[in-house]
A and B are shown apart, each in its own frame.
Chain A
């Protein structure tokens, strides 16, 4: 098979996959925040406030997701350059990347 070299997905496939996921999250999270704010406004009758608050929260979420994704890719690149030590046991590196979003 063309896309599976030596019984694993080829590097190009993985690379394209990783890169293509980043941009969408920013936009979609913003719109989800907007939609939640809009419908909360309709429900609660607080006309502009929920919309503004949730739009800002959506934008923050989008940037945080992109940041988290970039950190994940960076860790993958680090693990690849430092040797084949990547694997299931590396979850502890996650904790540091979640202090953003304030």
Chain B
């Protein structure tokens, strides 16, 4: 929760000095999130059970719920794109939660991480659309009326370019803002002030991860369904 301050005392700074790699902090915290997720994945893969318990239960609740949500919204085709969506959700969620640990910083509190993920989403939903519709994918940009098609093409182009930018800025602004509030409250009232905010920010960070997931799902739905 160092909020990108000029001289943050985070574990990544200590690690960076000892490794001598000169990488920015968000890279280390993204690696930490990846390590956590890979470890969970390998542990769970080794002992999958028919009647889940413990960790498997948690993950089955999350992914079962999300998959139902996706299938309800997109339809059966949603099962094909669900791995991407679910990975996005859990990855952002873990990165957001890492920001709540004292001495750690959320990787999503940096524009670069979010921009990378948003561009991935942009490329992915266009790829899915082109794969499904071929050249007819351009009809998605044309609108329903023929003589308005050139105007709609420009409007849709602006709208589609705005999507990754708005994904990036929303996630970045919310997470960075929460980190800064945590630091300020910690300065004002060391432990007492931050404890209540933790509950609010656990909610906020979950919502932000869910928003990213939901918007990606809506974009994928737009590229999978019929052009109007």
Q: Please, could you name 24 A-B residue pairs with CB atoms under 8 Å apart, sorted by A?
A: A1-B58, A3-B206, A3-B210, A4-B61, A4-B62, A9-B210, A14-B210, A14-B214, A16-B207, A17-B210, A20-B207, A28-B165, A29-B159, A32-B161, A57-B154, A61-B162, A72-B218, A88-B75, A89-B75, A91-B225, A94-B225, A98-B228, A101-B155, A102-B151
New A-B contacts (11) at CB < 8 Å, excluding given A4-B65, A16-B211, A29-B159: A3-B206, A7-B68, A21-B170, A21-B214, A21-B215, A25-B166, A28-B169, A57-B155, A86-B72, A88-B74, A102-B148
List B residues at the A interface (Cβ < 8 Å). Answer: 58, 61-62, 64-66, 68-69, 71-76, 143-145, 148, 151-152, 154-155, 158-159, 161-162, 165-166, 169-170, 206-207, 210-211, 214-215, 218, 225-226, 228
Residues of A within 8 A of B (CB): 1, 3-4, 7-9, 13-14, 16-18, 20-21, 24-25, 28-29, 31-33, 36, 54, 57-58, 60-62, 64-65, 72, 86-89, 91, 94-95, 98-99, 101-102
Q: Provide the residues of chain A in CB contact with B64, threshold 8 Å.
A: 7
